[in-house]
Amino acid sequence: MHNFEYHRPTSVADAVQSLKGAEDGKILAGGMTLIPTLKQRLAAPSDLIDLGAIAELKGIKDEGGMITIGAATPHAMVAESEVVRRVIPALADLAEGIGDPQVRNRGTIGGSIANSDPAADYPAALVGLDATVQTDRRRIKADDFFKGLFETALEEDEIVTAVSFPKPEKACYAKFPNPASRYAMVGVMVARAGGAVRVAVTGAGPCVFRLPEMEQALSGNFSPDAIKGIEISADGLNSDIHGSAAYRAHLVSVMARRAVTDCA
Amino acid sequence: MAEDMIGASIRRTEDFRFLTGQGHYLDDINRPNQVHAYFLRSPHAHAKIRSIDTAAAQSAPGVVAVFTGADIAADKVGGLICGWVVTDRHGQPHKAPPHPPLAQDTVRYVGDHVAVVIAESVAQARDAAELIEVDYEMLPAVVDTAKALDPDTPQLHADAPGNLCFDWELGDKAAVDAAFAKAHHVTRLDLVNNRLIPNAMEPRAAIGEYDGGADSYTCYSTSQNPHLLRLILCAFVLGVPEHKMRVVAPDVGGGFGSKIFCYAEEVVCTWAAKKVKRPVKWTAERGESFLSDAHGRDHVTHAELAMDESGKFLALKVDTIAGMGAYLSTFATCVPTYLHATLLAGQYATPAIHANVKAVFTNTAPVDAYRGAGRPEATYLIERIVECAARELRIDPAELRRRNFIRPDQFPYQTPVALVYDTGDYEAALDEALKMADYAGFAARKAESTKHGKLRGIGLSAYIEACGIAPSAVVGSLGAGVGLWESGQIRFSPTGTVSIFTGSHSHGQSHETTFAQLISDALGVPMEKIDVVHGDTDRIPFGMGTYGSRSLAVGGSALMRAADKIIEKGKKIAAHLMEASVGDIEYSKGTFRVAGTDRTKSMAEVAFAAYVPHNYPADLEPGLDETAFYDPANFTYPAGVHIAEVEVDPDTGLVDIVNWVAVDDFGKVINPMVVEGQVHGGIAQGIGQALLENCVYDKESGQLVTGSYMDYCMPRADDLPSFKVGMTETPCTHNPIGAKGCGEAGAIAAPPALINAITDAIGIMHMEMPATPEKVWQAIRQTRPAAAAE
Amino acid sequence: MPTVSMTVNGKAASGDAEPRTLLVHFLRETLGLTGTHVGCDTSQCGACVVHVDGKSVKSCTMLAVQANGAEVTTIEGLANGELHPMQAAFREHHGLQCGFCTPGMVMSAIDLVRHNATPSESDIREWLEGNICRCTGYHNIVKAIQAGAQAMKG
């Protein structure tokens, strides 16, 4: 990788300062995507601002009817969290299925969502569970956060500090992993809260998206049969050597039904 | 002691250093004052190099030198060679276009070597490589083996018109045609043996070093055969006298064939070491391994099998196009010919066989031997077409195989494709495998799966391979540029410890254990007093290395011959010590005895006397140190039956391997634990080929699409089941151990077993490898639209 | 060049490292601990797994500066006069052939047992998603880890 200046701030404010001061700074969270990218010389930032020493960014809180997860909380901590497991088991399951154990020990929720990788799992959790992203300056609803392929609503020097999840009545995540990379080829989060149902899909398209037709059908009848007949269009879905758009479209249906079944 | 050494699962000697992080793999070695090489590689599949500007790189921080093809040419460095000349149907040798270590004026695949930057650190070398400006003129490319011979296809080499390397045949075409003319039934099959990337976990690496005072070189290399590498480096590429070159292959982290060959990187590091007067080290990044390690397989085949009304095979004909890549690798040409077509009889008494193989150049990495090398391709097509025939004829696949097996009373059996099988009992392995797999209970299990909405299938594969490579006279007559014997040396010390020197090379095969076991048994020396030395041309006798499941059958046999010489000499020493005549000395398990008496001398006492010859036969040389060379009389023929059972999820196309049975006949087994480990690993690679792995080049751009583990699907622990392994034994008839070889069996047997099981589950004739979830789902959707739409 | 200090296998260790220096290279080249290997460049093979502050991580996907002040354990730090029970189990069950992936496998396996003292076959196979072995077909690795977990209890 190319060389860079390394910063290790101990507060969010200092991190923002460092980011503003850098010519082409990048935030280093868990580094699970960024470091391989740098190793392959696909990016050459002037500065890396490591969030690893900022204590306030790490941890899980259950307050105000929400589960709030600090941006620098590793996936393993979410997967093993007693409170997450009790309140939103689907979220613990999803975190437990990200990458491999070593990735889960380093990779963070903030890093994952700020990257908006089309094959990442967390975007499906945020959108499916109607979460809110907290940054150093504002709150952004998950629906407004993910903008496209590797694109979010974050400003250049904005840092994710936490994600807050409301407590669903029922939620489940079903994933079909890419056989090689093990990223989600299709991952579907189905959640019911206050009578409303959300269905969020990752892996299949350039960015996480919802399926209003399924959501409506499930709001009336929360059972796999309710969405059996719903055709998913392959238009605009990802297509690669591992799966065509048509196959991904089919898997979206299958995973959605499995997620609903698992909610029972 | 030593009562039960042969056949005992002795724990491995080599494990302690590997388990404690004290192995010495190549990248662990650093030489004083070394510098680092980084290779600039072609980003294009096919292009002319108009110019290369290295000025900026030359003056970058830490850079010691930058070399291009022009520097190689100016020093008259030779090209990489192919060491096996295949003579085509018209009596012409194969086309062998130049293969320069650094491209001269044209690059022919993505990853081809354009320049090397040598710098104080790897990072500096890589930084500087980005400053090299290469002006490429793009040329049209072909990466598709099936299309390489089409008219108007871009041509890679001026001296290989139409991209044809050779057009070769084996077998009696007239006899085959006659048999087809009277056939009751003919089964036809088109199939592709998918291209694979070997992916030993240790990436290739090399250090070149030059000693100006002695005018001699050392090349450290991740090699499976250091002497062969030395021979090629010296006699063909660098023009260095062989005694001025030492090649060291230290602990090597897996090879699977890909580390047999002489590659550009070790040539360039060794050559450059003299230029820069410092050791030059290179370690591949995984991405470079994907691009530049020799790939495997890559066959496109049409096969036809003729049968009579009872399902007896009358004849087999096979037409194959085999991809060679952009240049010929070290043994590329023998793989689709002598290691492939000669195995087309399989386990069957098919009386007439004809094979035509056309080898072609494409704008892809060179293709060469990969675990099994030609034999997996042969087994795959035989066992697939036999399976299809059974389905067409509605004969149970096990029964159809049984009807056509070569019977035990037919050995030695001359096949119609040149080989003579010495021994075997194919039905015994089949029966054992059917029993272990509970073949009879399959229907009930299938019914149970159906209840749960799953598709269940079972698939057999009866494989054979020719191992113990190889009788030198035979391979010499077929075009091999080397002999394929092996050497072994046994050296006692005065205190009775033993060093074994072998020309075989262990890169996971456990030679340090099994060879010591063999010699411990033969000479009665405890294992802990034996060391096995391999991998250093300055320490071991000239040897041919490890590949083709040859180490025990050939290298072990050489050691047994050396042990015989030790015993022979020991008898003379013991006779003298005990004042008896040599003819009266009996030897058994480390003890020399005067026949019919209780007078004995131990091996340790004899060794001591040999080195401290105060009381010693006058006409005998001191010392106890014997070398033997063993050239096998024939190949060995391991064979067996694997059975795969799968459950397919019709919703997703995901295949779950629910059972795997392997019954193999490897002849005499020295260490069952090690042999089973080899079987497991082979099966995993075979399953990898059938289910997961595929090398894909983009047909338009020629870019390697599967250039990392993100896209090249390596078998992981949760892709695989545990394996049930059984053995039958018909000892090899022509080597002193009775061993046949076990390293490649699983990789040969597994792919057809799995594809047979998957196609059985879905109810289709054929599916190309790898059977990815999407492919399986698509096939289900076509055969049973209702199930897939669910 | 920043100086990086950490505790490695119970001993203080420090050295200069460019910010871009990966932890694995710091361990191998600066500290001479070559038991930790590099088998890929996309964080998938797991040959480089070490423990940082008690958790298994891929040392090829972590900067040396990120480990400043951390407790690091490598394969060299496991055996204490005699083999660690997990190392011994790998030997007993032939869980290694060429040995290249082995250090990462063993380090990963020990972290598994910390999470799950009695892992089933499928627990082990799932846990090993981040460790690739090309030699063994995993069969004996799975057996070794089960036995190693058992031995670690006693």
Distances (CA, A) of B675 to B544, B561, B679, B682, C87: 22, 23, 6, 11, 21
Compute the mean pLDDT over every residue in chain B, rounded to the nearest whole number: 96
Out of B287, B652, B705, the one facing A254 most closely (by C-beta) is B652
User: Which band of pLDDT confidence, cut at 50, 70 and 90, is reported for residue A5?
Assistant: very high
From chain A residues 29-68, the ones with a CB under 8 A of any chain B CB are 40-41
Residue B666 CA to residue B729 CA, distance in Å, equals: 7
Mutate to test the interface with C, among B9, B11, B15 (most CBs of C within 10 A): B15
Task: Look at strands B63-68 and B113-119 and give their pairing.
Answer: antiparallel
Contact C137 B682 (CB under 8 A): yes
| Coil, helix or strand at residue A152 | strand
User: Could you tell me the CATH superfamily of domain C3-77?
Assistant: Beta-grasp domain (3.10.20.30)
Whether the predicted pLDDT of C63 surpasses 50 = yes
Out of B126, B696, B774, the one facing A243 most closely (by C-beta) is B774
| Coil, helix or strand at residue B310 | coil
Answer for the pair A19, A25: CB distance below 8 angstroms, yes or no: yes
Contact B710 A242 (CB under 8 A): no
% chain C with pLDDT above 90: 97
Distances (CA, A) of C141 to B623, B719, C92, C109: 44, 14, 11, 9
Out of C94, C103, C142, the one facing B21 most closely (by C-beta) is C103
CA atoms within 13 A on the CB side of C81: 0
Chain C neighbors (3+ CB pairs < 8 Å)? A, B
Residue B418 CA to residue B404 CA, distance in Å, equals: 19
Q: Give the pLDDT of residue B1.
A: 43
Answer for the pair B683, B661: CB distance below 8 angstroms, yes or no: no
ipTM over 0.95: yes
pLDDT digits (tens, 9 = 90+) for B195-234: 999 999 999 999 999 999 999 999 999 999 999 999 999 9
| Residue in A closest to C20 by C-alpha | A3
Q: Is residue A32 part of a domain?
A: yes
Whether the predicted pLDDT of B275 surpasses 50 = yes
Number of domains in chain A: 2
User: Could you tell me the CATH superfamily of domain B31-139+202-253+259-292?
Assistant: Aldehyde oxidase/xanthine dehydrogenase, a/b hammerhead (3.90.1170.50)
Count CB atoms within 10 A of the CB of residue A58: 18
| Residue in B closest to A245 by C-alpha | B774
pLDDT digits (tens, 9 = 90+) for B132-158: 999 999 999 999 999 999 999 999 999
C55 reaches A (C-beta below 8 A): yes
Whether the predicted pLDDT of B3 surpasses 70 = no
**Which has the minimum average pLDDT: B73-82, B246-255, B330-339, B472-481?**
B472-481
% chain B with pLDDT above 70: 99
Contact C97 B681 (CB under 8 A): yes
Distance (Å) from the C-alpha of residue C20 to the closest C-alpha of chain A? Answer: 6
Q: Which stretches of B218-367 are DSSP H helices?
A: 226-232, 264-276, 286-292
CA B484, B492, B225: angle at the middle one, nearest 5?
25
% chain A with pLDDT above 70: 100
Whether the predicted pLDDT of B789 surpasses 60 = no
Every domain of chain C with CATH number 3.10.20.30 lies at 3-77
Out of B127, B709, B774, the one facing A180 most closely (by C-beta) is B709
CATH (one of 1.25.10.10, 1.10.150.120, 3.30.70.1090, 1.10.645.10) for C85-153 = 1.10.150.120
Q: Is residue A133 part of a domain?
A: no
Distance (Å) from the C-alpha of residue A6 to the closest C-alpha of chain C? Answer: 6
Host domain of residue A199? 170-263
Residue A15 CA to residue A27 CA, distance in Å, equals: 8
Q: Give the pLDDT of residue A186.
A: 98
CATH of the domain at A196: 3.30.390.50
Contact B287 A247 (CB under 8 A): no
B674 reaches C (C-beta below 8 A): yes
Fold of B485-630: Aldehyde Oxidoreductase; domain 4 (3.30.365)
Residue B644 CA to residue C58 CA, distance in Å, equals: 35
Q: Give the pLDDT of residue B785.
A: 64
Out of A176, A241, A247, the one facing B705 most closely (by C-beta) is A241
pLDDT digits (tens, 9 = 90+) for B349-404: 999 999 999 999 999 999 999 999 999 999 999 999 999 999 999 999 999 999 99
Q: Give the pLDDT of residue B2.
A: 42
Whether the predicted pLDDT of A179 surpasses 70 = yes
CATH of the domain at A19: 3.30.43.10
Residues 6 or more apart whose CB falls under 8 angstroms from that of B131 comprise: B56, B57, B60
Q: Tokens standing for B661?
A: 């049975």
Contact B696 A241 (CB under 8 A): yes
Distance (Å) from the C-alpha of residue B694 to the closest C-alpha of chain A? Answer: 10
Q: Give the pLDDT of residue C1.
A: 81
Fold of B299-469+634-789: Aldehyde Oxidoreductase; domain 4 (3.30.365)
pLDDT digits (tens, 9 = 90+) for C106-141: 999 999 999 999 999 999 999 999 999 999 999 999
From chain B residues 243-272, the ones with a CB under 8 A of any chain C CB are 251-254, 256
Whether the predicted pLDDT of B10 surpasses 50 = yes
Q: Give the pLDDT of residue B482.
A: 87
Residue B252 CA to residue A147 CA, distance in Å, equals: 48
Q: Give the pLDDT of residue B288.
A: 98
pLDDT digits (tens, 9 = 90+) for B705-718: 999 999 999 999 99
Distance (Å) from the C-alpha of residue C41 to the closest C-alpha of chain A? Answer: 7
Count CB atoms within 10 A of the CB of residue B517: 24
Q: Tokens standing for B181?
A: 């003319």
Q: Is residue A129 part of a domain?
A: no
Contact C63 A100 (CB under 8 A): no
Count CB atoms within 10 A of the CB of residue A55: 10
Whether the predicted pLDDT of B786 surpasses 70 = no
Which residues of chain C neighbour A38 with C-beta distances below 8 Å? 20
Answer for the pair A117, A150: CB distance below 8 angstroms, yes or no: yes
User: Which band of pLDDT confidence, cut at 50, 70 and 90, is reported for residue A195?
Assistant: confident
Whether the predicted pLDDT of C21 surpasses 50 = yes
For the segment B43-63, the average pLDDT, to the nearest whole number, is 98
Whether the predicted pLDDT of B788 surpasses 60 = no
Residue B725 CA to residue B745 CA, distance in Å, equals: 12
Whether the predicted pLDDT of A34 surpasses 60 = yes
Every domain of chain B with CATH number 3.30.365.10 lies at 299-469+634-789, 485-630
Residue B274 CA to residue B143 CA, distance in Å, equals: 37
The single residue listed with the structure tokens 């012409």 is: B92
Which residues of chain B neighbour C94 with C-beta distances below 8 Å? 9, 11-12, 673-674, 676-677
B508 reaches C (C-beta below 8 A): yes
